[in-house]
Structure 1
Amino acid sequence: MIPTATPATRNSVRRRRWPTALATVPTATAGAKTGWGLSSRSLAIHQASAAAAPVWTASRRLSRSFTSRSPQAFFSAWLRPGSPGAYLSAVTKIEVNGALLAYDDTGSGTPVVLLHAGIADRRMWREQIGPLAARHRVIALDLRGYGDSELPPTPFAHHDDVAGLLDALGIPRAALVGCSFGGAVAIDTALAHPERVTALALLGTAASGHEWSEEANDLWDSLVGEVDPEDFAASAAGEVRFWVVGPGREPADVDPELLAFAREMDQRALAAELALSAVDVAELDPPAIGRLHELRMPVLVGAGGADLPDISRLADRIAAEAPDATRLPDVPDAGHLLPLERPAPVNAALLDFLP
C-alpha cells in the first residue's frame, strides 16, 4: 500500500523542480576533457567528499504554493482543450497503479526508461530515443500528472509508478535515465526497488531530501525576481531563464527554438504541479540524499557547465558517495536540459555506459 503523504511531503512535491544545494566540493580533475567523449567509463571517478554547509528553506517564491485556486476549478481547466494541461496527442497509455500513464516504446535490446525533468515531459528525450533505440528498448514515460499521463485523485509515489510500469510491460529489470526531477525519481526507484534497476544515468539531477543553497535563492532574485505563480506563461518564462539559460548566459546565447520548446513544456508542467498539489504524493522515507551509498548499481552522473553551481555540486556528491559512480566532466555551454541542448555528447556517453 502506498502511504499517504504528509502536508510537509506535499509541499516538497510542489517545490520539487528546485533540487537543493550542498557545500562546494572539488570539480573536475586536472586534464579532464572539456566535453564528453565516447569512453565515459574511462573517466576518473571524483573522490571528493561533501562537506557540511548551511542550508535554507525554500522561499514561497520558489516553493510556489498554489492554494488560491480550488482543485475543482483546476481540474475543470485541466480537461479543457487548449489548456496548459490538455493532452498533447493520441498516445499509447498503460494502466499503472490505478492510473493511465503515457509512454513511447521503441527499439529492441536491453530496456532503458527515460524520466523527464520537472519543467518538461517525455518529449524532452526527442534527441535520445532514435540513437538509443538502435541498441536498446527505449521507453520514454510521462510521469503521473505530466504530459499525456492521467492523475486520479488517489495517493501514489512516482518511484512506485516506475516499478509498476516495468510490471505492466513485463520487464524484470531496466536501466533508468533521469534529468533533474526525473533523476530524483530514478534514484528513489533504485533505492526503493533495487532489484529492478540495472544502472542509473543522472543528468542535471535532483535528489530527494536535498536542500538548496542560499546562493541559488540569490540567483533567482537576480535573474527572475518576483513572478505571479498563477501566471503560467510568466512563470515558465522565468523558469526557463533560470534553468535553461542559466546564470552565466543570456537568452540570446541559447537556440531560440529550444527556449520556445522549453517554455511550452514548462507551462504544461506548471499545470501538472498545480494538479499534483491537490493529490497525496508520497516520497521516499528516509530520502535519498542520506542513502547514496546504498546505490550498488553502476551510476553515471553529468551536468551542464552553464547550469546552476548547485547542480554540479550535487553531481559531485553523488559521484563521491555512490560506490560505483562515474562523474562526467561538465559539458561547456549547456544548461539544465542537457539532453536537449547538447544531444551528441549525451548520446555518446549513454551509449557507452548503458548495459
Structure 2
Amino acid sequence: MTAASDLRFFTSADGGLAYRDTGAGDPVVLLHSGFTDHRVFDDQIPALAREYRVIAPDVRGHGASANASRPFRWADDLAALLRHLDTGPAVLVGVSMGGAIATDTVIEYPELVRAVVACGASTSEFEYTAPWVRQVQADQTRALGEGDVEGWLTAFLRFVPGEHRTLDDVDPDVLRRVREMALGTLTKHTPDEVNHHVPLTGTWARVPKIDVPVLAVNGALDAPDLIADAERLARTVPDGRSTLVEGVAHYPNMERPEVFTDIVAGFLRTL
C-alpha cells in the first residue's frame, strides 16, 4: 500500500487531486480503472521509474482525490495536473476507465500527449453490450440501490476473472487489492450523490485525427465487445497497433504484471 507520505496533492479548482510522482526522465502517466486508484499500478510504478518519470494520479472521486462538487471532465483534470507539473507531452497509459481518459485527453489536448496505451478501453463513449457484462452491471445497480455494499463488491470483483473463469482462478492477493481499492472509493460517495462528470461526445469522429502512436492492450478473456472496440481504436488512428495478453481479463497489469510492464516498456522504446 502506498504510504501517505508518497502522495502529493494538486489543488485544483475543485479540491485536491492526489498523485504519485517518482523517477526521472520522459514523463509517463499511469491512469487507473474505475472504482480503484493509483495502486492498480503498484507493480508498474517502480519498474518504469527506473527509466522514466512516472506520474500516477487518483482520478477525481477515487482514492485520495476530492469528490466533485461541480461539473468536470476527466481530460480537463488531467490537463490541469500536467500543466501544474510543467510536464508534457507525456505518454498516457490507462487501464479501463484510465484508458478512456487517455484517449479523451489526446483528443482534447493533443499538445500534452506523446503517445497512448489504452488497456481494455477505447474512448469514453463505449458502452457494454455483452449480456454477461450487462448482467453484472445490473447486479451492481441492484445492490447499490439496496445499500448492499458487500453485494456490490461481490459483483464488481467478477470483472477480475471475467466471464470464462471463476474467482478461484485468480490470485487471492489480486482480488484483495482490487476489493480494498473499490471499497475505499465506494465509501467516499453516497447513493444520492449527484454525478458531476460531463462526458465527452463525438469522440469517434475525432479519433482519426489522433496523430500520436496508440497501443491497445487487451486481456484475451475480457468482454468481446470491449476487445473489438479497443481494436477499432487501434485501426482507426493513423499509427495504431494492438496486442492481447493471454489468460487474463480486465486487469492484465495486475494478473500478469511483468508481461504488461514489458509490453509498455517495449512500446516506450519505440517512441
TM-score between the two structures when normalised by the length of structure 2: 0.90
What is the aligned partner in structure 1 of residue 35 from structure 2?
119
Whether contact under 8 Å (1:147, 1:268) holds in the other structure is: yes
Per the alignment, do residues 207 and 172 of structure 1 end up closer, same or farther by CA in structure 2, a change over 3 Å counting? closer
What is the aligned partner in structure 2 of residue 323 from structure 1?
238
What is the aligned partner in structure 2 of residue 307 from structure 1?
222
The aligned amino acid for 2:64 is D
Q: Deviations over 1:279-333 (max 9, x none)?
A: 52222232x23432122110010111122212211121111111111111x2111
Counterpart-to-counterpart distance in 2, 1:324 and 1:272: 39
Match of 2:247 among 333, 340, 347: 333
Counterpart-to-counterpart distance in 2, 1:121 and 1:262: 9
Q: Residue 162 of structure 1: CA displacement?
A: 0.5
Q: Deviations over 1:224-253 (max 9, x none)?
A: 688411222221111111x10111111111
Counterpart-to-counterpart distance in 1, 2:227 and 2:87: 32
Match of 1:99 among 4, 7, 15: 15
Per the alignment, do residues 339 and 118 of structure 1 end up closer, same or farther by CA in structure 2, a change over 3 Å counting? same
The aligned amino acid for 1:238 is A
Q: Deviations over 1:201-221 (max 9, x none)?
A: 011114222232153456538
Whether contact under 8 Å (2:79, 2:109) holds in the other structure is: yes
What is the aligned partner in structure 2 of residue 228 from structure 1?
143
Point out which structure has higher relative CO (alpha carbons under 8 A, 6+ apart): 1
What is the aligned partner in structure 2 of residue 202 from structure 1?
118
* Structure 1: runs of 5+ lacking an equivalent: 1-86
Counterpart-to-counterpart distance in 2, 1:252 and 1:152: 36
SS of the equivalent of 1:327 reads strand
What is the aligned partner in structure 2 of residue 143 from structure 1?
59
The aligned amino acid for 1:314 is D
Matched, 1:296 2:211: yes
Counterpart-to-counterpart distance in 2, 1:352 and 1:258: 24
What is the aligned partner in structure 1 of residue 257 from structure 2?
343
Q: Percent identity?
A: 34
Correspondence list, 1:265-304, <5 A: 265-272=181-188, 274=190, 277-286=193-202, 288-304=203-219
SS of the equivalent of 2:83 reads helix
Correspondence list, 1:3-18, <5 A: none
Whether contact under 8 Å (1:187, 1:200) holds in the other structure is: yes
Once superposed, what is the RMSD of the aligned Cα atoms? Answer: 2.4
Counterpart-to-counterpart distance in 2, 1:307 and 1:227: 23
Q: Residue 184 of structure 1: CA displacement?
A: 0.7
After TM superposition, the structure 1 stretch with the greater mean CA deviation from structure 2, 245-254 or 211-220, is: 211-220
Per the alignment, do residues 225 and 197 of structure 1 end up closer, same or farther by CA in structure 2, a change over 3 Å counting? closer
The aligned amino acid for 2:209 is E
Q: Residue 157 of structure 1: CA displacement?
A: 1.2
* Structure 2: runs of 5+ lacking an equivalent: none
Which of the two has greater strand per residue? 2
SS of the equivalent of 1:303 reads strand
Whether contact under 8 Å (1:204, 1:336) holds in the other structure is: yes
Matched, 1:352 2:266: yes
What is the aligned partner in structure 2 of residue 249 from structure 1?
165
What is the aligned partner in structure 2 of residue 34 from structure 1?
none
What is the aligned partner in structure 2 of residue 22 from structure 1?
none
SS of the equivalent of 2:219 reads coil
The aligned amino acid for 1:183 is G
After TM superposition, the structure 1 stretch with the greater mean CA deviation from structure 2, 149-158 or 270-279, is: 270-279
Whether contact under 8 Å (2:221, 2:248) holds in the other structure is: yes
What is the aligned partner in structure 1 of residue 79 from structure 2?
163
Matched, 1:240 2:165: no
Whether contact under 8 Å (2:116, 2:214) holds in the other structure is: yes
- Give the length in aligned residue pairs: 265
TM-score between the two structures when normalised by the length of structure 1: 0.69
The aligned amino acid for 1:333 is G
Q: Residue 141 of structure 1: CA displacement?
A: 0.4
Per the alignment, do residues 217 and 351 of structure 1 end up closer, same or farther by CA in structure 2, a change over 3 Å counting? closer
